[in-house]
Structure 1
Amino acid sequence: MFIRAYLRASTQEQNAERARESLVQFAANHGQRIAAFYVENVSGATLHRPELMKLIADSGEGDIVLVEQIDRLARLKQSDWDSLKQKLAAKRLAIVSPELPTSWLALEKKDDTGFTDSILRAVNAMMLDMLAAVARKDYEDRRRRQFQGIHKAKTEGKYQGRQPDLKRRQHIASLLKSGHSYSEIQEMLSCSRHIIASVAKEQRQADAVA
């Protein structure tokens, strides 16, 4: 049995690896270690996730998919969620999350009769479907409120679109100039490599002009 951790953030500005250490500690608390990490920045509303598909392809039968929260996997419309479950079931992969205590049994030694395993899968299937429905509803509710807010701002002539986090970008620029590495900046500011690279590019362009 191998444990493969899946880390996802919705946008390039978010740090998808934020939960890495907490998952390492969670596995250690259960006497386990994580064999591989699969990290990507992609919307939770789409099933087009190259790293998740790679995780499934790399997995052997009975491996474990470890996620920080179920919505890292399950913020999908029903048809896509059903498709993902089929892919996971084809290799008998178990989903484990710190937020779902019933899933933790997958980290323990199975009994010889397989009874515990059968009960675990039945209970988890029900819990996962419920959490997936909640995650999808939360996503749709937030999107609806966002669109309503944008529409109201446009109507009132106040909408300016998404603005960059200038304070964070200035902080990144300062750290780059002082010689900090991308990894160090990621850890210090909990930001993505994408935004660091973007700031570094701006710096190079400014230096070239100067």
Structure 2
Amino acid sequence: MFVRAYLRASTAEQDAHRARARLDAFAEEHGFSIAARYIENESGAKLVRPELFRLLGDCQPGDVLLTEQVDHLSRLTEPDWRQLRAEIEAKQVRIVALDLPTSWGLAAPSDDFTGRMFAAVNAMMLDVLAAVARKDYEDRRRRQAEGTAKARAAGVYKGRRENTARNEGVAAMLQAGSSWLQIQEAMGCSRGTIAKVRQRLNSAAAVQA
């Protein structure tokens, strides 16, 4: 059994590495080691997340996916959550989340009956928390949209300010031939941000040509 940690943050402004100390402490407390870490800056409302699916692709039956919170794994719609859960079940991966105590027993070896009991209870709780996480996401989006509408009506909406210093660093690394993964790790940005900067560089190069 391998334990693979999944660390996710929604945006480049958030630090996906922040949870590492908590996951390491949990692993030490429960007597196991984390074999690999998969880190990405992507929304939990998106099903397509490269690092999450790379983690699942690396897993063997019985491996553990360790994450800080269930909403780091899913803020998905119900159909997308069913699809992700089907992938997890097909790989026979055990989900252990720090905010889901019913899952903690899955990180330790157990007899067949106990393992099946833990898995059944955990599957039910995962469904509940995934639904709660999606509702929280939708509520926050609704409140943000209402706030934006009010700001626009009052003539004070300015939109999100671009992180120009970070984007200049991304551009420099792209021009130096760095891989997207290296840029993500160095700059703490999403693949979407890199794609936007890459598009700007290509547009600028086309104009100069």
TM-score class, shorter-chain normalisation, is 0.7 to 0.9
Asked if 1:89 is matched to 2:89, the reply is: yes
Deviation at 1:193, TM superposition (A): 3.1
Asked if 1:10 is matched to 2:10, the reply is: yes
Which range moves more in the overlay, 29-38 or 9-18? Answer: 9-18
Letter of the structure 2 residue corresponding to residue 104 of structure 1 = W
SS at match of 1:87: helix
Deviation string 1:97-118 (CA, Å, 9 cap, x unpaired) is 111111011122212xx11111
Q: 1:13, 1:192 within 8 Å by CA — same for their partners in 2?
A: no
For residues 138-157 of structure 1, what are the structure 2 equivalents within 5 Å? 138-157=136-155
Asked if 1:161 is matched to 2:142, the reply is: no
Deviation string 1:22-65 (CA, Å, 9 cap, x unpaired) is 10110110000100000000111111100001000000111000
Deviation at 1:164, TM superposition (A): 5.3
For residues 22-171 of structure 1, what are the structure 2 equivalents within 5 Å? 22-111=22-111, 114-163=112-161
Q: 1:27, 1:34 within 8 Å by CA — same for their partners in 2?
A: yes
Letter of the structure 1 residue corresponding to residue 114 of structure 2 = T
Deviation at 1:14, TM superposition (A): 1.2
Provide the C-alpha distance between the structure 2 equivalents of 1:44 and 1:107, rounded to a whole number of angstroms. 23
Please tell me the root mean square deviation across aligned C-alpha atoms, in Å.
Answer: 2.3
SS at match of 2:7: strand
Deviation string 1:43-98 (CA, Å, 9 cap, x unpaired) is 11111100001000000111000000000011000011000001000111011011
Asked if 1:193 is matched to 2:188, the reply is: yes
Letter of the structure 1 residue corresponding to residue 53 of structure 2 = M
Provide the C-alpha distance between the structure 2 equivalents of 1:138 and 1:192, rounded to a whole number of angstroms. 28
Letter of the structure 1 residue corresponding to residue 148 of structure 2 = I
Give identity over the alignment, percent: 54
Deviation at 1:12, TM superposition (A): 1.2
- Normalised by the length of structure 1, the TM-score is 0.78
Aligned residues between the structures: 174
Provide the C-alpha distance between the structure 1 equivalents of 2:80 and 2:189, rounded to a whole number of angstroms. 28
Deviation string 1:147-199 (CA, Å, 9 cap, x unpaired) is 00000110111111123589xx7xxxxxxxxxxxxxxxxxxxxx95349xx9x
Provide the C-alpha distance between the structure 2 equivalents of 1:153 and 1:107, rounded to a whole number of angstroms. 48
Letter of the structure 2 residue corresponding to residue 193 of structure 1 = G
SS at match of 1:23: helix
- Normalised by the length of structure 2, the TM-score is 0.78
Provide the C-alpha distance between the structure 2 equivalents of 1:193 and 1:73, rounded to a whole number of angstroms. 19
